[in-house]
Structure 1
């Protein structure tokens, strides 16, 4: 999957879990394209899910959060994924 807007930064907890966060700040006219790209990543994450989605303390294996924050003529789109390190690296390495 080619990403044009989102560039992910990864961090791991040293115990096999990772967090991948990407943010794109674009003119409001490009919001739909960025959100569509984020939705493609989420759809791929769902297809390749390593287990149930949700907070780890509630039995989830992976989770995601998408935020869209308008700021005047610009909008910031943030996508955060958490889950097993190998899963996230394989998902975003494609």
Structure 2
């Protein structure tokens, strides 16, 4: 699956941990497609988990957060992943970003 809506912007903390932020702003009729992408990314992340999911400060190896906000005719979906740099880069490569 190649992502059509979610575009990831990576940042590296310099210590082997990265953050990947993605955002898509769509009209209501496209929202199911975006949410399918979010589900696919989270499924891949779970399947290829580098360890337990949870806040890194609490001992988690990776974590994810997504938010859906509607404003007028547009809905913005954001997805943020944090975890080991190699794991996140493998995720992005898998989805062809």
Q: Are 2:78 and 1:62 aligned?
A: no
| Mapped partners of 2:31, 2:78: distance in 1 | 11
| Mapped partners of 1:68, 1:32: distance in 2 | 12
Q: CA deviation at 1:29?
A: 1.4
Q: Are 2:35 and 1:35 aligned?
A: yes
| Mapped partners of 1:5, 1:57: distance in 2 | 30
Paired position in structure 2 for 1:76 = 76
| Mapped partners of 1:23, 1:57: distance in 2 | 24
Paired position in structure 1 for 2:50 = 50
After TM superposition, the score normalised by the length of structure 2 is: 0.94
Alpha-carbon displacement from aligned partner over 1:17-38 (angstroms, at most 9, x marks no partner)? 0000000000111111101111
Residue ranges of structure 2 left out of the alignment (5+ in a row):
none
RMSD value, Cα: 0.7
Alpha-carbon displacement from aligned partner over 1:33-69 (angstroms, at most 9, x marks no partner)? 1011111000000000000000011110100001110
| Mapped partners of 1:89, 1:10: distance in 2 | 9
Structure 1 moving runs of 4+ over 4 Å: none
Q: CA deviation at 1:12?
A: 0.4
Residue ranges of structure 1 left out of the alignment (5+ in a row):
none
